[in-house]
């Protein structure tokens, strides 16, 4: 039985959509609206996802069979450098900042971000950083003559980055692009933190805030702490390369290990910068499709904050093979293992939310279930690698590559896909096709497992990462072929996704303002939301304000 | 959620428009200028000059976007009625009543209970560990050094006699490892014991230590190969049971605290006038 409630939060309907105006490009270039900036972040990240994906495919073709010379070693070095840099700095962070930009103000009942102009600047500077990185293919005076891209790996270890080993400008492109990207990231993080702390609607105490803004708060705080050392290191490296300082010049009293510390004190928290928003998406999707409130909200918040703190103390587990000494090894082994405690709390809470619920296996939920399973596996291989003796054996092998792709693809990308299917109706007013969504899910799932499950094996057999090719008879050939075949399935799944995005925009069913019968504030405004979000500032009394409106006989506010 | 009181509505609502920050090109121009300024370092200095010009112009433009007054645009509200409804209802399936929702747990142990239990259990565990060292190797330091050896790779080839001697580094490392692990397990006991209220001695004293031993048995080869090569599992189980019994006992001695769910109970139950029937029924099932 329907329970109509006329006491609406917002009395605004979507503005009528007319034909595109001539100044539409100028409108997007000059916008300071958080929703448009969020969409630009996402579109820009999708373009780079395509580019990074093509780079991955080229590498997999090269490695599919032994003694292959499909591409040259120089191009291969550029490909893994550009693939890693692109996926972390120009796909992962922008797409998650994009969702945050779009959703955070809507979910906390605000009309925009705290600093709208800084928000626009942050997006554009990140976008130009990506263009600068790829301009290296055309404009650089690099190691292999004009037009060469960076080729020093996405972590750019010293002393390989020294001018003597990397002449020309290819490494400078990498350094400057990552530096610029960092400026944008810090700007957006500042905006997210300020917006969440200062612009929540009436009644939304921190203890009533949805989990998505909570996790974005932790993530943005991590960005401050993690990106700053990287930015400092980029400046030091630039000084080394341009004016001959010796921060990382081992032959002149500098330290290559110093770079490693700088890089990984950014690099490991960065994993959590990427995965915390993925957790946030799952936190919103799982309860709605289980028809239950999130199990253990305070524990989820505490676990998220704990992860934020602990993630700052684990960076040197990337450096076990360097030789840290007994005390260093012991500390970083235990710190890394301890992080499994709050992470485990999250997994148990998601399971407890699903347990006993009336589960609806719509596409967003299916991606979240995939996330849950794969994140667990990624965590288990992470614990294996956290043990220093194990890491000494398998550090820098394909086992490590398989592990972190389980995190980045199996966990983060799956959650992002779930988020696309969940919030697409809010953004466009149209539903995505469930049939195409299921095709996308199953093809991508099969492809993911073919690629990354079997990628562990050549790692265990001793195949080093970043290797250009290998001899037949090492026992790696068959496994690499399977890994390559998996990539084909993933591409097929992605094609369904892109087709679904475009087709649904024009031919999708009308979504209405609340197609999932959800409970957070963004579903109380029209789809797509008006530019001002809320005509009247909402007031909330619980963590699920729309539940309270839909079920006045049994509101959450009686229990919180 | 409540609709805002009409008397509290601001002027912008009454005038049917909302003021929002005006669009501006200067953030984009500033970003482009900054990017070009830097790009000049890898291309040509003229590019940097162009970037500098754009940066200066955009700073100027951005400044006058904000001063003397921030530029705003009035966006008209296009009002309509949105009904917040659900096709689902709780009414037909679950009658509203005292026991309508599960309110468990309404009491639990505080964090300090787990801390105390972990610390005292950790001390108790030292007794059988020291006994093991005394009986087998005539030294209480053997078990200490064996635990610490996980952090000292170069101890792998050392003799039993070496491990039976006192080493300050070994004592410090073992204290850190043992202390941290004991506190973490104690906290876990504090969180878990309310979930198994019926047989706390069996749960805390035997089931949990045996499960923990099983996990360590399968993983110790990876975590600490040195400890794995020399450990005596019988004595290990005895020390685990000592920890479990003492930690469980100490945790159960502590006074329980009320959880936020307690506040959701009817006043008569919270005041002690009526008992919480739903809670008791759940316990008896």
Instruction: Report the share of chain B in percent with pLDDT over 90.
Output: 42
Q: Which band of pLDDT confidence, cut at 50, 70 and 90, is reported for residue A428?
A: very high
Q: By the CB < 8 Å criterion, does B18 face chain A?
A: yes
Helix A34-63 with A477-507: angle, nearest 10 deg? 150
Cα–Cα distances in angstroms (integers) from residue A411 to residues A48, A171, A274, A528, A545, in the given order: 19, 31, 10, 28, 29
Does the residue A438 lie in any domain?
Answer: yes
pLDDT tens readout for residues A454-476: 999 999 999 999 999 999 989 99
Does the residue A3 lie in any domain?
Answer: no
Q: Are A69 and A469 in contact (CB under 8 A)?
A: yes
Considering only the beta carbons, identify the residue of B38, B84, B173 that sits closest to A180. B38
Please, which residues bridge with residue B20 across strands?
A: B73
Q: Report how far residue B241's alpha carbon sits from residue B247's, in angstroms, rounded to the nearest whole number.
A: 10
Q: Are B165 and B149 in contact (CB under 8 A)?
A: no
Cβ neighbours of B261 in A, within 8 Å? 559
Cα–Cα distances in angstroms (integers) from residue A524 to residues A7, A36, A514, in the given order: 11, 19, 7
Asked if B152 and A326 come within 8 Å (Cβ–Cβ), the reply is yes
Looking up residue A353, the CATH number of its domain turns out to be: 1.20.210.10
Asked if B85 and A550 come within 8 Å (Cβ–Cβ), the reply is yes
Domain boundaries, chain B: 10-76, 107-254
Residue B79 has pLDDT above 90, yes or no: no
Which of A14, A23, A32, A542 should we substitute to test contact with B (largest number of B Cβ atoms within 10 Å)?
A32
Q: Please provide the average confidence, as pLDDT, over all residues in chain B.
A: 82
- Sign of the alpha-carbon torsion through B223, B227, B231, B235: negative
Q: By the CB < 8 Å criterion, does B88 face chain A?
A: yes
- Using a 10 angstrom Cβ sphere, with 0-12 exposed, 13-18 middle and 19 or more buried, the burial of residue A510 is exposed
Which residues are within 8 A (CB) of A265 and not within 5 positions of it... i.e. 6 or more apart?
A226, A229, A312, A315
The model carries a pTM of 0.82
Which of A142, A96, A44 minimizes the C-alpha distance to A412? A96
Q: Report how far residue A183's alpha carbon sits from residue A123's, in angstroms, rounded to the nearest whole number.
A: 10
Per the model's pLDDT, the better-predicted residue between A284 and A323 turns out to be A284
Does the residue A1 lie in any domain?
Answer: no
Closest approach of chain A CAs to the CA of B198, in angstroms?
A: 22
Q: Report how far residue A559's alpha carbon sits from residue A183's, in angstroms, rounded to the nearest whole number.
A: 43
Considering only the beta carbons, identify the residue of A176, A183, A387 that sits closest to B222. A387
Q: How many domains does chain A have?
A: 1
Does the residue A135 lie in any domain?
Answer: yes
Cβ neighbours of A536 in B, within 8 Å? 3-4, 9, 13
Q: Which band of pLDDT confidence, cut at 50, 70 and 90, is reported for residue B5?
A: very low
Closest approach of chain A CAs to the CA of B145, in angstroms?
A: 14
pLDDT of res. A13: 55
* CB pairs A-B closer than 8 Å: 206
Which residues are within 8 A (CB) of B39 and not within 5 positions of it... i.e. 6 or more apart?
A132, A135, A176, B47, B48, B51
Considering only the beta carbons, identify the residue of B22, B28, B90 that sits closest to A551. B90
Q: Report how far residue A352's alpha carbon sits from residue B281's, in angstroms, rounded to the nearest whole number.
A: 22
pLDDT tens readout for residues A94-146: 999 999 999 999 999 999 999 999 999 999 999 999 999 999 988 766 444 45
Q: Report how far residue B212's alpha carbon sits from residue B217's, in angstroms, rounded to the nearest whole number.
A: 8
Q: By the CB < 8 Å criterion, does B39 face chain A?
A: yes
pLDDT tens readout for residues B228-266: 888 899 999 999 999 999 999 998 888 777 776 676 666
pLDDT tens readout for residues A516-556: 999 999 999 999 999 999 998 999 999 999 999 998 888 88
Closest approach of chain A CAs to the CA of B142, in angstroms?
A: 19
Q: Are A174 and A133 in contact (CB under 8 A)?
A: yes
pLDDT of res. B98: 52
Domain of A115 in residue numbering reads as: 29-558
Burial state string for B221-260 with b = 16 or more CB within 10 A and e = fewer than 16: eebbbbbeeebeeebbbbbbbbbbbbbbbbbbebeeeebe
pLDDT tens readout for residues A226-282: 999 999 999 999 999 999 999 999 888 999 999 999 999 999 999 999 999 999 999
Dihedral angle, C-alpha B89, B92, B95, B99, nearest 10 °: -60
Which residues are within 8 A (CB) of B68 and not within 5 positions of it... i.e. 6 or more apart?
none
Q: By the CB < 8 Å criterion, does B48 face chain A?
A: no
Closest approach of chain B CAs to the CA of A18, in angstroms?
A: 15
Asked if A513 and B82 come within 8 Å (Cβ–Cβ), the reply is yes
Which of B130, B146, B21, B132 minimizes the C-alpha distance to B71? B21
Q: Which helix (H) or strand (E) holds A392?
A: helix A388-394
Which of A333, A464, A461 minimizes the C-alpha distance to B219? A333
Of all residues in chain B, the one with the smallest CA distance to A380 is B219
A440 upstream amide cis, omega within 30 of 0: no
pLDDT tens readout for residues B134-165: 999 999 999 999 888 877 778 878 888 999 99
Closest approach of chain A CAs to the CA of B63, in angstroms?
A: 11
Does the residue A18 lie in any domain?
Answer: no
Does the residue A4 lie in any domain?
Answer: no
Considering only the beta carbons, identify the residue of A128, A136, A517 that sits closest to B88. A517
Does the residue A102 lie in any domain?
Answer: yes
pLDDT of res. B1: 44
Please name the residues between 162 and 221 in chain B that touch chain A, using a CB distance below 8 Å. Answer: 173, 177, 180, 184
Cα–Cα distances in angstroms (integers) from residue A60 to residues A47, A186, A449, A466, A481, in the given order: 20, 34, 15, 12, 8
């Amino acid at each position: 039985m329907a329970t109509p409630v006329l006491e609406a939060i917002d009395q605004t309907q979507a503005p009528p959509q007319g034909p595109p105006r001539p100044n539409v490009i100028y409108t997007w270039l000059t916008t300071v609206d958080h929703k448009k900036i969020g969409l630009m972040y996402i579109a820009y990240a999708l373009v780079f996802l395509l580019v990074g994906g093509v780079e991955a495919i080229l590498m997999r073709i090269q490695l599919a069979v032994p003694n292959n010379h499909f591409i040259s070693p120089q191009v291969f070095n550029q490909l893994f450098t550009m693939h890693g840099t692109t996926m972390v700095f120009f796909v992962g962070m922008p797409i998650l900042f994009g969702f945050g930009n779009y959703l955070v103000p809507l979910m906390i009942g605000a009309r925009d971000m705290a600093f709208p102009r800084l928000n626009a600047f942050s997006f554009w500077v990140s976008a130009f950083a990506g263009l600068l990185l790829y301009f290296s293919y055309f404009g650089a005076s690099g190691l292999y003559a004009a037009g060469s891209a960076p080729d020093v790996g996405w972590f750019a270890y010293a002393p390989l980055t020294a001018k003597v080993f990397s002449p020309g400008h290819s490494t400078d492109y990498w350094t400057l692009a990552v530096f610029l990207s960092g400026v944008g990231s810090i700007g957006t993080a500042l905006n997210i933190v300020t917006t969440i702390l200062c612009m929540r609607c009436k009644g939304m105490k921190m203890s009533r805030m949805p989990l998505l803004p909570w996790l974005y708060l932790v993530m943005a705080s991590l960005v401050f702490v993690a990106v700053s050392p990287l930015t400092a290191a980029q400046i030091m490296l630039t000084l080394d390369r341009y004016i001959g300082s010796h921060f990382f010049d081992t032959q002149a009293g500098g330290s290559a290990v110093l770079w490693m510390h700088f890089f990984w004190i950014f690099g490991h928290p960065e994993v959590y910068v990427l995965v915390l928003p993925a957790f946030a998406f799952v936190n919103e999707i799982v309860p709605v499709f289980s028809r239950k409130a999130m199990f253990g909200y305070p524990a989820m918040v505490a676990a998220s904050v704990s992860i934020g703190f602990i993630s700052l103390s684990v960076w040197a587990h990337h450096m076990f093979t360097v030789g840290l000494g007994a005390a260093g090894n012991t500390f970083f082994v235990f710190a890394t293992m301890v992080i499994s405690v709050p992470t485990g709390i999250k997994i148990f809470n998601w399971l407890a939310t699903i347990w006993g619920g009336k589960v609806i296996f719509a596409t967003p939920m299916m991606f979240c279930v995939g996330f849950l399973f794969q994140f667990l596996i990624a965590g288990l291989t992470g614990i294996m690698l956290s043990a220093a003796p194990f890491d000494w054996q398998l550090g820098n092998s394909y086992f490590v590559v398989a592990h972190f792709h389980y995190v980045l693809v199996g966990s983060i990308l799956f959650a992002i896909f779930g988020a696309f299917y969940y919030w697409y109706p809010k953004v466009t007013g149209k539903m995505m096709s469930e049939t195409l969504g299921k095709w996308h899910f199953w093809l991508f799932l099969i492809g993911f497992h073919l690629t990354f499950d079997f990628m562990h094996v050549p790692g265990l057999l001793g195949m080093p990462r970043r290797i250009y090719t290998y001899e037949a008879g090492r026992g790696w050939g068959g496994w690499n072929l399977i890994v390559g075949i998996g990539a084909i399935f993933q591409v097929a799944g992605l094609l369904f996704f892109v087709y679904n995005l475009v087709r649904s925009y024009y031919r999708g069913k009308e979504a209405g303002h609340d197609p999932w019968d959800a409970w957070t504030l963004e579903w109380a405004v029209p789809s797509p939301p008006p530019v001002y979000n809320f005509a009247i500032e909402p007031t909330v009394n619980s963590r699920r304000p729309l539940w309270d409106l839909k079920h006045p006989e049994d509101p959450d506010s009686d229990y919180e | 959620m409540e609709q805002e009181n009409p008397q509290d509505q601001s002027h912008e609502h009454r005038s049917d428009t909302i003021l929002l920050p005006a669009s501006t090109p200067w953030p984009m121009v500033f970003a482009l200028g900054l990017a070009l300024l830097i790009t000049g370092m890898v291309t040509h200095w003229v590019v940097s000059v162009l970037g500098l010009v754009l940066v200066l112009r955009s700073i100027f433009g951005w400044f006058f976007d904000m001063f003397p007054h921030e530029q705003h645009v009035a966006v008209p509200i296009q009002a309509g009625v949105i009904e917040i409804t659900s096709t689902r209802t709780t009414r037909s399936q679950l009658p509203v009543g005292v026991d309508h929702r599960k309110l468990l747990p309404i009491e639990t142990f505080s964090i300090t209970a787990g801390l105390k239990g972990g610390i005292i259990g950790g001390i108790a565990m030292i007794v059988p560990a020291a006994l093991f060292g005394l009986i087998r190797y005539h030294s209480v330091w053997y078990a200490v050094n064996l635990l610490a050896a996980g952090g000292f790779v170069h101890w792998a080839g050392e003799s039993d006699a070496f491990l039976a001697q006192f080493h300050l580094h070994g004592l410090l490392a073992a204290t850190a490892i043992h202390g941290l692990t004991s506190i973490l397990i104690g906290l876990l006991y504090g969180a878990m014991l309310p979930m198994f209220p019926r047989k706390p001695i069996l749960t805390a004293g035997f089931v949990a230590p045996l499960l923990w031993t099983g996990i360590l048995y399968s993983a110790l080869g990876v975590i600490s190969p040195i400890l794995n090569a020399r450990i005596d599992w019988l004595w290990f189980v005895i020390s685990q049971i000592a920890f479990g019994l003492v930690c469980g006992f100490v945790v159960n001695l502590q006074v329980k605290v009320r959880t936020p769910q307690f506040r959701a109970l009817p006043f008569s139950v919270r005041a002690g006038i009526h008992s919480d029937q739903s809670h008791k029924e759940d316990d008896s099932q």
